[in-house]
């Protein structure tokens, strides 16, 4: 079989697999749709990894048409957006992009799709964000009133709760992107697809300036809670970036704890992960400070050198 025929045959096969996912989702009444969201990208990841993004565009078009036959409004939108993520993911694999960059690209795309899905569903079904926020305010007020705790007024404000809602949607998308990345790679390796070995997260070195910016944003966030700025745009921007900065520093703080224990105690096993999880819930500010040190000092490089030596 020549290359052109093989490409067409493979495209038809992955489109059929995608159609099977759509049909199963429809036959189960969308009950397992949250699970299928992690499966929709995989056929196009495999195809684009072999032939590239340009060759995958007609396959994406065929999948989109197929989704119109087997899906309703919501499932069509979910399926097409996830297939697009699979196309980008597979295209990056085809062009041998660094695996860490691919991971971040998939998580960012998934976060954008998560927000887009919320907007799309709101447009279709009349999802009223203001009503949802009002219900959240009533629930939070009731809980803290029973506990006898006074909440800062800014936290109970409509704008702040809207930001929390948006941030939660973004984080949900990021987690979904990470799972799509891991599941896709696992299946591709099982099928013996040519997938490059991923770079350890311990070896990834973000720019130092991100640590300083994140810390400044977090400090501004804390100051805004104590004394909200008069400028509404500045207040909303500061609160949003402050939340993301806190999570950013906390994430690298957890990595710092795991790597430190792995280097200092090579036989500790899962102790580092356990310590990082405990730190997230019991000592979040200390773990955040560890993340800042990890990002802006030479401590990370020293840990990496010892980690590579031990490996």
pLDDT band at 50 (very low <50, low <70, confident <90, very high): confident
Residue 76: give its domain's CATH number.
1.10.1760
Q: Is residue 3 part of a domain?
A: yes
- CB-based contact 86:152 (threshold 8 Å): no
Same domain, 191 and 261: no
Distances, alpha carbon 180 to alpha carbons 10, 102, 183, 261, in Å = 22, 12, 5, 28
- Return the pLDDT at 120: 64
Among the listed residues 223, 251, 252, the one whose alpha carbon sits nearest the alpha carbon of residue 239 = 223
Contact call for residues 169 and 95 (beta carbons, < 8 A): no
Task: Give me the pLDDT at residue 109, please.
Answer: 87
The pLDDT value recorded for residue 130 is 63
204 shares its domain with 188: no
At 121, the pLDDT band (50, 70, 90 cuts) reads low
Residue 140 covered by a domain:
no
Count the domains in the chain: 2
Reported for 33-39, long-range contacts at CB under 8 A and 24+ positions apart, including other chains, are 33/74, 33/75, 33/78, 36/78, 36/79, 37/78, 37/82, 37/176, 38/176, 38/179, 38/180, 38/183, 39/183
Same domain for 111 and 51, yes or no, is: yes
Same domain for 190 and 204, yes or no, is no
Reported for 153-160, long-range contacts at CB under 8 A and 24+ positions apart, including other chains, are: 154/224, 154/225, 154/228, 154/235, 154/239, 155/225, 158/130, 158/133, 158/134, 159/232, 159/235, 159/236, 159/239, 160/239
Q: Is residue 54 part of a domain?
A: yes
Q: Which domain holds residue 278?
A: 200-311
Residue 159 inside a domain? The answer is: no
Instruction: Give per-residue pLDDT as tens, 242-254.
Output: 777 888 888 888 8
State residue 232's pLDDT score: 62
| pTM over cut 0.75 | no
In this predicted structure, the answer to whether residue 134 has a pLDDT above a threshold of 80 is no
Are residues 47 and 191 in contact, defined by beta-carbon separation less than 8 angstroms? no
- Is residue 70 in a domain? yes
181 shares its domain with 284: no
User: Would 162 be classed as within a structural domain?
Assistant: no
Predicted confidence (pLDDT) at residue 29 exceeds the cutoff of 80 = no
Do 21 and 116 reside in the same domain of the chain? yes
Same domain, 209 and 177: no
């Amino acid at each position: 079989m020549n290359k052109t025929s093989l490409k067409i045959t493979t495209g038809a096969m992955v489109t059929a697999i995608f159609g099977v996912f759509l049909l199963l989702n429809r036959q189960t009444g969308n009950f397992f749709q949250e699970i299928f969201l992690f499966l929709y990208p995989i056929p196009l990841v495999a195809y684009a990894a072999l032939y590239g993004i340009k060759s995958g565009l007609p396959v994406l078009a065929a999948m989109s048409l197929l989704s119109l036959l087997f899906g309703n409004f919501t499932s069509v939108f979910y399926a097409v957006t996830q297939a697009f993520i699979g196309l980008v993911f597979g295209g990056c694999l085809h062009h041998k992009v660094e695996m860490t960059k691919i991971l971040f690209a998939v998580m960012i795309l998934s976060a954008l799709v998560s927000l887009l899905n919320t907007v799309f569903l709101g447009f279709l079904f009349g999802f009223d964000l203001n009503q949802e926020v009002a219900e959240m305010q009533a629930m939070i007020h009731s809980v803290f009133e029973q506990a006898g705790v006074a909440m800062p007024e800014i936290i109970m404000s409509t704008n702040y709760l809207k930001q929390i809602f948006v941030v939660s949607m973004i984080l949900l998308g990021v987690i979904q992107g990470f799972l799509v990345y891991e599941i896709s790679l696992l299946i591709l390796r099982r099928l013996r697809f040519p997938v490059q070995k991923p770079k350890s997260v311990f070896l990834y070195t973000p720019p130092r300036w991100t640590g300083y910016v994140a810390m400044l944003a977090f400090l501004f966030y804390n100051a805004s809670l104590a004394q909200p700025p008069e400028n509404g745009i500045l207040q909303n921007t500061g609160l949003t970036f402050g939340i993301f900065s806190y999570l950013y520093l906390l994430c690298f703080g957890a990595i710092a704890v795991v790597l430190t224990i792995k280097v200092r105690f090579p036989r500790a096993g899962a102790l580092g992960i356990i310590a990082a999880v405990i730190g997230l819930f019991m000592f979040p500010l200390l773990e955040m400070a560890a993340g800042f040190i990890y990002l802006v000092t030479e401590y990370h490089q020293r840990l990496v050198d010892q980690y590579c030596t031990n490996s």
